Homo-oligomer: A and B are copies of this chain.
Amino acid sequence: MAGAVRESAAFDLVAAQQGLDAQPFSRLVQARITEFGGGAATLEIDIREELLQQHGFVHGGVLSYAADNTLTFAAATALGPAIVTGGFSIQYLRPARGRTLRARAEVVQAGRRQAVCRCDLTMIDEAGEERVCAVAQGTALPLNAPADGQG
């Protein structure tokens, strides 16, 4: 829905990575942003032992962190950086294992009051094969909402 997307050339991939690096928790998780713009954002996390749960799969909390952050970065391509995450819903599809977690979110619709985004979470294995392991949808709200919005 590119027509609904108001992009700022200044707020590009480099700035997005700086925004991500300004989050201490994203540095703890060691997330990187690999796509930012045009109503979409992609976050990647290389999987290491401390991101796992007790059975050796990626912890659901890592997946939900990635969904939360990627949905919000995608929304920022439409609404600008002054936004807050409203909330999201995530469904886990299968145990997540592999080399790299990739979360890709797209803006479905961005209005004056909120942006609604969807996110696919995939695991990439050693052979480079990608397999979806969770899906999410959520909203972000502008910090400075319109005075008399119609939506």
Interface residues of A (CB under 8 A from B): 1, 19, 22-29, 49-54, 59-62, 64-69, 72, 84-95, 108-109, 111-114, 116, 118, 132, 134-137, 139, 141, 143-151
Q: A109's closest neighbor in chain B, by CB?
A: B93
Query: Are the C-beta atoms of B144 and A148 separated by less than 8 Å?
Result: yes
B-chain residues with CB within 8 Å of residue A23 when the two chains form the complex? 52-54, 59
- A92→B108 CA distance, assembly (Å): 11
Query: Are the C-beta atoms of A65 and B54 separated by less than 8 Å?
Result: no
Among B64, B84, B90, B145, point to the contact of A92 (Cβ < 8 A). Answer: B84
Copies in the complex: 4
CB distance from A85 to the nearest CB of B (A): 5
Closest 6 CB pairs of A and B: A61-B65, A145-B145, A87-B91, A89-B89, A25-B59, A64-B64
Among B59, B62, B67, B91, point to the contact of A86 (Cβ < 8 A). Answer: B91
Q: A85's closest neighbor in chain B, by CB?
A: B60
Among B137, B144, B151, point to the contact of A95 (Cβ < 8 A). Answer: B151
CB distance from A98 to the nearest CB of B (A): 16
- A54→B51 CA distance, assembly (Å): 21
CB distance from A87 to the nearest CB of B (A): 4
10 contacting pairs across A/B (C-beta < 8 A): A23-B53, A24-B53, A25-B51, A26-B59, A60-B69, A60-B85, A61-B64, A65-B65, A88-B89, A118-B135
